[in-house]
Structure 1
Amino acid sequence: MGKELLEPSVTPIGPDSLEPPDGGLQAWLTVLGATLVGFSTFGVVNAFGAFSDFYNRIYLTNYDSTIISMIGALQVFVLYFFGAFSGAIFDAVGPTYMIPVSGFITAFAFFMLSLTKPEQIYQQFLTQSILFNLGATLGFFPALSVIPHWFRRKAAYAIGCVLAGASGGGIVFPIMLNHLIPRVGFGWAVRSIAFIILSCFAVATFTIKTRRPRKPLPPLYKIINLSAFRDTRYALFAAGAFFNILSVFNPFFYVGLYGVTLHGESKLSPYLLPIMNATSIFGRVLPAILADRVGRFNVICISVLLSSILDFALWYPTTGETPIIVFAALYGFVSGPFFTLMPACVNQISPVESVGGRIGMLFATLSFGALAGTPIGGLFIKTHTRENFQRLIIYTGVLGLVGAAFLILARLRCERRLLARV
């Protein structure tokens, strides 16, 4: 009986039952719990643009956009860098402890954020950037890692649901902040988000189950797999993903501020980020299903290329409200496959025994790009003028094109035939 109490999140199975069932009540309950974890971890990160707008305009006016953007950039860095280790810890420990601990830390971080003072930016760094994301990495990556325990043929769809939950947070939380801050103040608006995080993790704790036996925690050299870069395909792919991560978050962080710069406090500006995240839900799910049919590398290359083209063709010349709404909607959709398909592409070009280490190494590499990308972008907009935003857009688009070029080279290294399914 004591053992049962210690391992409530492991579904007992026999040695012949490890094949994913691709459905069933417990499988979809696990997807539900994992989606709620995505909603309340990466969903909060996706909502940073709304925090950034508030910090720039009201709460942290003594600091320029570059320093404020570092709050969001450090969020992604901590989440990605420690995500390289989180998967291995999950294999060794399982969700029994990781999910509730993640929920406690993330909710506690936001309760602490609600107590921070204006013009004391170190407090936002400690609570929102570091503490929250140390907790989030213990939940978000295990929520993704548990899906293959239950799904094989439908794995892309199930993982897409988890990532769609992350986009859902990017819709709900900005709208909450924009409506609650004027009514109840920043403190209670943030506490409301903390209570939602607690509720989501409470459900996830009881619904996420694993089916596979636990593994010993591997040595550090197997978690950080530098030898992966000897594979030219992997090295080119990692370079392309790195350059794209430098650019891909800029529209998410700055589109709302750009709307305010052009049109002031209009009724539509607070909804630009939620619109972008709403279409990103479809961009993370539908192309992932398509990728299984036409090729994962093909889809991710087209996605990154189209994102850069949109920066130049639509965001750069935009002055009216309608075009920027169209840009937000289209960019959210075409940028979505990049996040969904990165692990799938690495899996496709890696030996089975090296997949975990290579994915962890990729996220550790991308964490430095995420740390640098949006703060460098913020250097262009120390004063909020259209001309300065256009410089930011050029920076964003050029980096995206460089990333697309490397991804295309990785795809051609896998298969030179242009119409092949890769």
Structure 2
Amino acid sequence: MHDLETDSEKAVRPESDFDGEIERDLADVRSPIPGTKPGDATILEDAGPPDGGTTAWIVVLGAWCCSFSSPGWINSVGSFQEYYEVGPLKEYSSSTIAWIPSLQLFFLFALGPVVGIIFDNYGPRPLIIGGTLFHVFGLMMASLAKTYYQFLLSQGVCTLACVSTWFSKKRGTAMGVMVTGSSVGGVIFPIMISRMIKSTGYPWAMRTAAFLILGLQIIAIFTVRPRIKPVPKKMPVGRFAAPFTELPFAMLLLGIFVLTYGIFIPIDYLAVQGLEEAHMSEEMSQYLVSIFNGASLFGRLASGYGADRIGRWNMFIIACSLSGIAEFAVWIPAKHSSIAIGFAIMFGFVSGAFIGLSGALPVSVSPLPEIGYRLGVVFLAISIPALTMAPIGGAILQNSTNGWLNVKVFGGVMCLAGSAIILISRLLYTEKKLLKVF
């Protein structure tokens, strides 16, 4: 049995009555080899994650479609911020407009704990079907929007844990491949939307995106499934509070919370900063978002591969620290188009690990029956800064004499501070072993 567990999973197995439930759940897939004596070790029929194979990679394909459709769409929010500011909502302030993409991010992550519990008990299919209906409906309603509150409600409000059960040693690589979908979506959506707005208008641009997402989600509905069929079970009430009372996991939540500000501020304001401060053309500033996401694709693949070699936590901390350094070293002086493009490439590459591995961290230190819930709690920690970071950035921009400088410094500080807090969490999990592969 011990061969099926990573060191990190052993270190954080909860010492509570809930262990009995974990063992009973795993007992469903155990059976002794015929002819063995009563005292012999129990052998598992289930040999654990296959780390590959046709079925496993088909699951990755379906998850990739989900990644393209949802995070890929979210990665395009910077282009909408710039479009609204120079287009239908030009009479509103940057801070006010920023609530639209912020609400998209908030509702993507805020329901994480509820979604996680549903996943733990019923698997991914009902979630994918429900999410598809809401996302497509929201985009269709956005295509009819003409006023601020309509944009806010339709695009803001209505708008990956399966893979981890199929992979162990190659989990970082598999999740890195999966989240490249959001990078590809982040490249395609801004270009497609900006070009279609000019050629066919905003309504049909949104409808086309909705139809594309619907097609990909249908693929996901039929391909994404967990390796072991979930069995509905009631989680003890005390376990709901456990992620907040365990110091290492609480530090992980705090670190992710702080990091979200540092990572998403540049994503949300890339296009606007390029247009206003770097004096780029409107069309070229829109391409900054696609350039960022194109570089992020390679960053996510590289971080996934690196995570399998040096550890997911180590890779995550290094990449997020480099993201903060990039904001200080490259984004601050990005007052010319060439430097702004260079920052989009550099930041896209190093920050790819945030999306690529932020889900892998809680998965690696969570009890098996709680993976969905704890992953959802991490997403909840992301949702609050996701809701407030763009309006905060807009307020800093409007109420400061050094507007863009202060926005950039704010993003860099939050990146480095969040990385330091995650490092503390990692040290607590590894008993202060700095060089351990974790």
Q: TM-score range by the shorter chain?
A: 0.7 to 0.9
Which has the larger share of helix?
1
Deviation, structure 1 residue 277: 0.8
Matched, 1:185 2:201: yes
- Structure 1 residue matching 2:323: 3-state secondary structure: helix
Q: How many residues align?
A: 395
- Residue in 2 aligned with 1:82? 111
Q: TM-score, normalised by structure 2?
A: 0.84
Q: Deviations over 1:354-388 (max 9, x none)?
A: 444332222212211221222111112238x9942
- Residue in 2 aligned with 1:38? 67
Identity across matched positions, percent: 35
CA 1:189/1:388 → structure 2, altered by over 3 Å: closer, same or farther? same
Deviation, structure 1 residue 220: 8.5
Moved more, 269-278 or 96-105: 96-105
- Residue in 2 aligned with 1:409? 424
CA distance in 2, matches of 1:72, 1:293: 36
Moved more, 358-367 or 35-44: 358-367
CA distance in 2, matches of 1:222, 1:155: 30
Unaligned runs of 5+ in 2: 1-27, 31-44
* Pick aligned residue for 2:153 from 105, 109, 126: 126
CA 1:266/1:55 → structure 2, altered by over 3 Å: closer, same or farther? closer
Deviation, structure 1 residue 106: 1.2
Deviation, structure 1 residue 249: 0.5
- Structure 2 residue matching 1:263: 3-state secondary structure: coil
CA 1:222/1:194 → structure 2, altered by over 3 Å: closer, same or farther? farther
- Residue in 2 aligned with 1:229? 244
* Pick aligned residue for 1:166 from 182, 188, 199: 182
CA 1:315/1:122 → structure 2, altered by over 3 Å: closer, same or farther? same
- Residue in 2 aligned with 1:306? 322
Deviation, structure 1 residue 154: 2.5
* Pick aligned residue for 1:335 from 326, 351, 356: 351
- Residue in 2 aligned with 1:66? 95
CA RMSD of aligned residues (A): 2.3
- Structure 2 residue matching 1:22: 3-state secondary structure: coil
- Structure 2 residue matching 1:85: 3-state secondary structure: helix
Matched, 1:282 2:298: yes
Unaligned runs of 5+ in 1: 1-12, 133-143
Q: TM-score, normalised by structure 1?
A: 0.87
Deviation, structure 1 residue 267: 4.7
- Structure 2 residue matching 1:146: 3-state secondary structure: helix
Deviation, structure 1 residue 344: 2.5
| 8 A Cα contact 1:18 1:212, kept in partner | no
One-letter identity of the residue aligned with 1:25: T
Q: Deviations over 1:169-189 (max 9, x none)?
A: 111100011111111111111
| 8 A Cα contact 1:88 1:218, kept in partner | no
Report matched runs for 1:188-337 at 5 Å: 188-216=204-232, 218-219=234-235, 221=237, 225-261=240-276, 262-265=278-281, 267-337=283-353
- Residue in 1 aligned with 2:161? 145
- Residue in 2 aligned with 1:113? 142
CA 1:107/1:347 → structure 2, altered by over 3 Å: closer, same or farther? closer
| 8 A Cα contact 1:307 1:335, kept in partner | yes
Deviation, structure 1 residue 352: 4.1
